[in-house]
Structure 1
Amino acid sequence: MKAKPWSMMLMLGALAASAGALFAEDPKLEVHEWGTFTVLSGSDGAALQWYQPGQDLDLLPEFVEGGIGPFQKGANITSMVRMETPVLYFYPEKEMPVKVEVAFNNGRITEWFPAPGLPENGRTVWNGKLFPPDHADALKRIPEVKSRGDHYRHAREVPAAWIFKGRASMFENPAPPVDVNKDSDKFIFYRGAGDALPPYSTRVDDKGVFEMRHTVDGGAIEVAFALSVDGNQARWARVPRLPATNREDMTTFSAFSYVALEKPAEAVDKVATELSAALVDELDRAGLTPEEARAMVATWQGHWFREPGTRILAILPRKYVDQVLPLTITPKPQKVERVFVARFETLAPAKEDALLGLLNRDLTVKPDGKEVSAFVALQLGRFGSGALTRVQTLENSRLLSRFWELRRSELATEGKATASR
């Protein structure tokens, strides 16, 4: 029996529609991201505004670009949070165009490579194309990391990651000049500064006891490590799980976690090796590939494990990352992994008191060698501006306390004098 013409048309239309839907379906794409947030706090656990002077900034390779005006590359931006290295890796099934949009809520993106296009609706936007890891022409467009910014090269040590080809610059006249033939990399790199603090605070006492707690409702911290580095010696310990909080359940609102560094100090090289291995394992479990986890730790091991100071390194809940750093990718990936580590740098009370003592001197007299040596021994490094802010607050509190103590004594004296008349 022959089909009627209108039936045949309906059948052909249905087949065409299903074929169109098949070819219109987004190609398979998986995206992985790792990144860091750095926060500095005083001995009371409160976060501090801080900035890195130009000479203390991590030098990035020459081809990395930055913003304009006060947000230009290397600018001394005062903030509570430094977002220091988000890196996006792509794993598509085939060559494809891709669009990436990211915003930093209550912050600004300050450096990047490859360069994005013009912002859209307050978001930084990259338009480009993905090429296989062994694509000869795409490989030629990846700029060489020379002596400057050597740590940057570690992020490229992910063999399976595809190459993102962007555009050389979003500016007509970039400075320094950018090679328009070098506009690709094995990832998208960006970083920034802002005030969207993670909902946690940390502090440490002079005995090496660390405490971590919530500042507002927040998710659980499943993985965290406490570390103290003093010269060539270091101590570390795993921080117990910090439960999530819910203000509707007051039994969880005061949740906190603490750990004491009880083991004797060891060579910093030994500690760095142990912590590197432990953190790579945890980053792998959190969603990164082993190669990505190793690349992340290799990028930051110098600062995380060797830089003098006291800190907690914690893997942040995905919910916070998505809230503060919303990410949109087109075509929509089948899977997106985002693994961020927060570095909570802390100032112990003794360090604050020592700095305050060095600053409370006669300003008309130049510091002598002993004072300079004492200042160097504090090993404030790039957190010096934040430490200064903290001791200024302490000094102001002491001045206020002293003033009102004198004022109360004055009023009491006046009261006795009035009563005796």
Structure 2
Amino acid sequence: MCNPTRWAFAAPAAGLLILTCCIAAEPDARVRPGADTVQGLVVHEWGTFSTFSGSNGTNLSFSPYDNDLPDFVHGYLPKNSKAGPQGGLISLETPVLYFYADRPQSASVQVDFPKGIFTEWYPYAARSDKKLAWDHISVMPNEPLKLPNETKKSRYYAARETDAAPLRVGFFEANEKRVEQEKFLFYRGVGDFDMPLSARAWGGGSFTVHWDGRGPEGDLVLVQIEAGKLRFRPFRLNRHKKGAAQADIEIPETDSTIDQLGETMVKLLIEKGMLEKEARAMVKTWSSAWFGEEGTRILYILPPEVTDAMLPLHVDPKPKSLVRVLVGRHDLLTPERERRIDSLESKLNDDSAPQPERDAARNELAKLGRYTGAVREAAETRLKQRR
């Protein structure tokens, strides 16, 4: 990641004033941009965020992904910092903004994260903890711009597989003009607040999903990956009372495939206004995480009003159409998995246990990845309560 001190030269104060005062387009406008049909400026955004809880529904703080981005992406930590990424209850991951236009033009964008902190972004932007501003973006339809690339693999690049216009962002560094180019605007962040969705795992494949407020329209998807087997079930929140929505749901007994789940997600994204290439780019970006990481999770699309409150977005000039689709991923532990984790943590803390067994326990816990710290802390709490 690049040194964050560089952003100070990115945008003049006047540019920020324009961004603050501009008005976003109506999010329910459904203009379908194509190579020969787009008129004016059209902006589409997709993004993801993760939350995590124990079987009792209590959200747990965890560390975000920190090694899956190219080195050219800017970050709030210096590139060689030994400090870990800031964690929280929410990890905001890969929101990307696509631009479609019938002619080359200039645009400015500001996105705010009132309850969180922005941690990564590209191209270059003026950044504070709760605000990112891109000024003087050159939207260049059909222009064959050279985009940055690195030899190491990253899920980042899949988001380029759309018909969106290439973008060019200029900025000054040490009084020297520089340029960065990309097919989208990208950003990430972390937050420390609860989302409307929560879930309880009762054991035996049974779950209760609760939504605080008016629930999302359309399907949510319950996914479980265990011992290499994938099972999923689309469902809806079907009980509404006292300003909340709820559903009881069970893991199906039949196995499915990654392709089947991927097509289900693509269909849901298209129904919310994404173009097919955008939807497939999103699913390709996150398939290894959504469909490959072992565990139980709920995938759902955030209602537009919740997205706009969580991440206010301003685009100047006002787009003819603005579509925003934010997918939530809520991972949760089942009682069965918590018992296994408690056993591993107990083994790891047993000084009398053979070292190979303790090493095996440590290695198995490490497979929980970014959730390992939160999981082990929760296990320690449960073990202390039993003593």
TM range (shorter): 0.7 to 0.9
**2:227 equivalent in structure 1:** 231
Give the aligned residue type for 2:312: P
**1:83 equivalent in structure 2:** 92
**Aligned counterpart for 2:252 among listed residues 262, 268, 281:** 262
Separation (CA, whole Å) in 1 of partners of 2:142 and 2:40? 19
Assess, with a 3 A threshold, how the Cα gap between structure 1 residues 91 and 281 changes in structure 2: closer, same or farther: same
In the TM superposition, what is the alpha-carbon distance from 1:287 to its structure 2 partner? 0.8
After superposition, the C-alpha distances for 1:1-48 in whole angstroms (9 at most, x for unaligned) are: xxxxxxxxxxxxxxxxxxxxxxxxx99321100000100000001110
Gaps of 5+ in 1: 1-25, 174-178, 246-250, 400-421
Report whether the alignment pairs 1:286 with 2:286. Answer: no
TM-score by length of 2: 0.81
After superposition, the C-alpha distances for 1:120-145 in whole angstroms (9 at most, x for unaligned) are: x9521011333334214xx03x2124
In the TM superposition, what is the alpha-carbon distance from 1:254 to its structure 2 partner? 5.6
Report whether the alignment pairs 1:205 with 2:202. Answer: yes
Higher helix proportion, which one? Answer: 1
**1:195 equivalent in structure 2:** 192
**1:370 equivalent in structure 2:** 357
Higher strand proportion, which one? Answer: 2
Report whether the alignment pairs 1:162 with 2:165. Answer: yes
In the TM superposition, what is the alpha-carbon distance from 1:354 to its structure 2 partner? 2.1
Report whether the alignment pairs 1:321 with 2:280. Answer: no
Report whether the alignment pairs 1:143 with 2:148. Answer: yes
Assess, with a 3 A threshold, how the Cα gap between structure 1 residues 319 and 130 changes in structure 2: closer, same or farther: same
Separation (CA, whole Å) in 2 of partners of 1:39 and 1:74? 22
In the TM superposition, what is the alpha-carbon distance from 1:103 to its structure 2 partner? 1.0
RMSD of aligned Cα (Å): 2.9
Report whether the alignment pairs 1:388 with 2:385. Answer: no
In the TM superposition, what is the alpha-carbon distance from 1:68 to its structure 2 partner? 4.0
Higher relative contact order (CA 8 A, sep 6+): 2
Report whether the alignment pairs 1:43 with 2:29. Answer: no
After superposition, the C-alpha distances for 1:351-396 in whole angstroms (9 at most, x for unaligned) are: 2222223323555446533344355456422211121232234345
Give the aligned residue type for 1:323: A
**2:330 equivalent in structure 1:** 344
Separation (CA, whole Å) in 2 of partners of 1:367 and 1:221? 53
Structure having the higher Rg = 1
Give the aligned residue type for 1:369: P
Assess, with a 3 A threshold, how the Cα gap between structure 1 residues 201 and 320 changes in structure 2: closer, same or farther: same
Contact 1:116/1:167 (CA < 8 Å) preserved in 2?
A: no
Assess, with a 3 A threshold, how the Cα gap between structure 1 residues 69 and 377 changes in structure 2: closer, same or farther: closer
**1:5 equivalent in structure 2:** none
Contact 1:35/1:85 (CA < 8 Å) preserved in 2?
A: yes
Separation (CA, whole Å) in 1 of partners of 2:346 and 2:302? 39
In the TM superposition, what is the alpha-carbon distance from 1:310 to its structure 2 partner? 0.7
**2:157 equivalent in structure 1:** 153
Give the aligned residue type for 2:198: S
TM-score by length of 1: 0.75
Secondary structure of the residue aligned to 1:46 is coil
After superposition, the C-alpha distances for 1:81-102 in whole angstroms (9 at most, x for unaligned) are: 0001100001123222111101
Give 1:82-101 correspondences, 5 Å limit. Answer: 82-101=91-110
After superposition, the C-alpha distances for 1:241-285 in whole angstroms (9 at most, x for unaligned) are: 356x6xxxxx3446311221132335xxxx210010111011001
Separation (CA, whole Å) in 1 of partners of 2:83 and 2:105? 33
After superposition, the C-alpha distances for 1:201-223 in whole angstroms (9 at most, x for unaligned) are: 02323311232102x32433522
Contact 1:158/1:292 (CA < 8 Å) preserved in 2?
A: yes
| Paired residues, number | 347
Assess, with a 3 A threshold, how the Cα gap between structure 1 residues 252 and 369 changes in structure 2: closer, same or farther: same
Give the aligned residue type for 2:151: K
Gaps of 5+ in 2: 1-24, 26-38
